[in-house]
C-alpha cells in the first residue's frame, strides 16, 4: 500500500448514448484503481461519490491466474482480510485523498429498511446494522453499498445537502427499497423531490438476468408497469443446432424454453420517478456486471465465487471543499 496519495487522471466521458442522462466518466489512479462517476452527481463539489470496479487492488483470489491483483472490497470467506483492508484504503485514498476516511456499511438483508446515520461512530468494517438503505446529512462520512450484480442507487438533495445509498436486488426492489427510501428522506430531512438527484450504478442487466415465473407474478402483484420490466428470451444451443438428430426431444432442435429476463435498472428508475424525481435528474451506468466480468464482479456469472464492489456517497468535510 503506497503511503503517498496517488495522482489522479480523469478520462473522457464515455460517449455511448445508453440512456438519457446515462453518461458517466471514468477515473483511474496510478495504482490502477478505477472509479466511475455519474453525470447527475458530478457537478456538486460538496459531494463525494463513486462506483468501484474490480480493477486495481491486491486481491488474487478471484483473478483467475492474472498477474495483476483485483479490488475486492468485501470481506468474503475466500479472500484474505488484510487484502480487503488494503483495497478499501486504496479505494478511499483515490476517492477522497484519505485512506482512513470514515465509511459506514450495512449488513444487507434484501429488505426495505433504510436507516438514518448520525455519527462517524457508526462506521464499521462489518456493518453497523441490518438494513439495505441509509441516509445522512453529516459531513465527513461515506455511505457504502456492497454489490456483485444487485443494483446500487445513490441519491443526494442538492439544496439541503443530504445523501443516501440503497441496495436493490430483486427482493428489495419488490419491497420498494428505493421508493420508500426517498419517502423517508423527505420525512427525515424535509427534502423536496424536485431537489433530489440520483445515480443508478452498474449491476446485472436485463440481457443476463433470467428469473422464474414466480418473480414476474410477484412484480405484477405490486406494480402496474410490471409488464414493461420483463421480456422472454429464447436461448440458442449451437451444438443442438448443428447436430439436431442427436438431440431429438419434445423441444425444437437447438432451442430451449424461453427464459424470462428482468430489467432491475429500469425497475429502480421507475421507483425514483414514482418518488417524484425529475427524469433528467437520474443518471445510469448502463453496463451489465454479468456481461463485463473483466471489469466487474458478478455473483451469477462467476458461479457465486466472486468479490464485491462498493458504491459510495458522502458530504465532503468543510476543509476539503
What digits encode the pLDDT tens for the residues 78-94? 999 999 999 999 999 99
Report for 24-28, 30-34, 237-241, 257-261: range of highest mean pLDDT = 257-261
- State the pLDDT at residue 61: 93
Angle at 54 between CA 75 and CA 311, to 5 degrees: 70
* SS3 of residue 91 by DSSP: helix
Share of the chain above pLDDT 70, in %: 80
Angle at 151 between CA 115 and CA 72, to 5 degrees: 90
What digits encode the pLDDT tens for the residues 220-242? 999 999 999 999 998 654 444 44
What digits encode the pLDDT tens for the residues 96-153? 999 999 999 999 999 999 999 987 667 666 677 999 999 999 999 999 999 999 999 9
> Is the torsion defined by CA of 81, 73, 150, 176 positive or negative?
positive
- State the pLDDT at residue 318: 84
Distance between first and last Cα of the chain: 26
pLDDT at 315 over 80: yes
- State the pLDDT at residue 32: 82
Mean pLDDT in the chain?
A: 86
Q: Where in the chain is the domain with CATH 3.60.140.10?
A: 8-205+279-320
- State the pLDDT at residue 249: 45
- State the pLDDT at residue 30: 37
- State the pLDDT at residue 236: 52
Distance CA 112, CA 133 (A): 8
- Which is more confidently placed, 236 or 207? 207
Distance CA 216, CA 167 (A): 20
User: What does the block give as the cell for 221?
Assistant: 402483484
**Among the CATH numbers 3.60.21.10, 3.30.420.40, 3.40.250.10, 3.60.140.10, which is that of 8-205+279-320?**
3.60.140.10
> For the residues 15-31, what does the mean pLDDT come to?
39
Angle at 146 between CA 119 and CA 60, to 5 degrees: 120
Look at 23-27, 40-44, 105-109, 231-235 and tell me which has the smallest mean pLDDT: 23-27
Judged on CB neighbours under 10 Å (0-12, 13-18, 19+), 36 is: buried
Distance CA 224, CA 149 (A): 25
> For the residues 28-33, what does the mean pLDDT come to?
59
Report for 3-12, 125-134, 150-159: range of highest mean pLDDT = 150-159
User: What does the block give as the cell for 208?
Assistant: 443476463
- Whole-model pTM: value is 0.85
Distance CA 166, CA 144 (A): 9
Share of the chain above pLDDT 90, in %: 75
> For the residues 55-62, what does the mean pLDDT come to?
94
Residue that has been written with the C-alpha cell 423536496 in this structure:
192
DSSP annotation of 99: T
Amino acid at each position: 500500500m503506497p503511503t503517498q496519495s496517488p495522482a489522479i487522471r480523469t478520462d473522457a466521458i464515455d460517449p455511448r448514448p445508453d440512456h438519457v442522462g446515462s453518461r458517466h466518466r471514468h477515473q483511474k489512479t496510478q495504482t490502477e484503481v478505477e472509479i466511475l462517476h455519474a453525470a447527475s452527481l458530478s457537478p456538486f463539489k460538496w459531494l463525494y461519490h463513486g462506483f468501484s470496479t474490480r480493477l486495481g487492488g491486491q486481491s488474487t483470489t478471484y483473478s483467475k491466474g492474472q498477474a495483476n491483483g483485483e479490488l475486492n472490497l468485501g470481506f468474503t470467506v475466500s479472500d484474505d482480510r488484510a487484502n480487503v483492508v488494503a483495497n478499501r484504503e486504496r479505494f478511499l485514498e483515490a476517492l477522497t485523498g484519505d485512506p482512513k476516511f470514515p465509511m459506514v456499511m450495512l449488513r444487507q438483508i434484501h429488505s426495505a429498511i433504510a436507516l438514518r446515520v448520525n455519527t462517524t461512530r457508526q462506521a464499521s468494517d462489518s456493518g453497523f446494522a441490518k438494513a439495505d438503505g441509509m441516509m445522512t446529512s453529516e459531513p465527513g462520512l461515506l455511505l457504502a453499498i456492497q454489490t456483485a450484480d444487485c443494483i446500487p442507487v445513490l441519491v443526494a438533495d442538492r439544496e439541503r445537502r443530504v445523501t443516501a445509498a440503497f441496495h436493490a436486488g430483486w427482493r428489495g426492489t419488490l419491497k420498494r427499497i428505493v421508493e420508500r427510501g426517498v419517502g423517508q428522506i423527505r420525512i427525515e430531512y424535509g427534502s423536496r423531490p424536485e431537489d433530489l438527484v440520483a445515480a443508478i450504478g452498474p449491476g446485472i442487466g436485463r440481457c443476463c438476468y433470467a428469473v422464474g415465473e414466480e418473480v414476474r407474478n410477484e412484480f405484477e402483484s405490486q406494480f402496474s408497469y410490471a409488464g414493461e420490466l420483463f421480456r422472454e428470451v429464447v436461448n440458442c444451443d449451437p451444438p443442438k443446432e448443428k447436430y439436431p438428430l442427436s438431440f431429438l426431444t419434445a423441444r425444437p432442435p437447438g432451442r430451449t424454453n424461453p427464459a424470462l429476463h428482468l430489467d432491475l435498472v429500469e425497475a429502480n428508475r421507475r421507483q425514483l420517478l414514482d418518488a417524484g424525481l425529475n427524469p433528467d435528474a437520474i443518471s445510469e451506468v448502463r453496463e451489465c456486471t454479468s456481461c463485463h466480468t473483466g471489469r466487474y464482479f458478478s455473483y451469477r456469472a462467476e458461479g457465486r465465487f466472486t468479490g464485491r464492489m462498493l458504491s459510495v456517497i458522502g458530504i465532503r468535510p468543510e476543509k476539503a471543499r
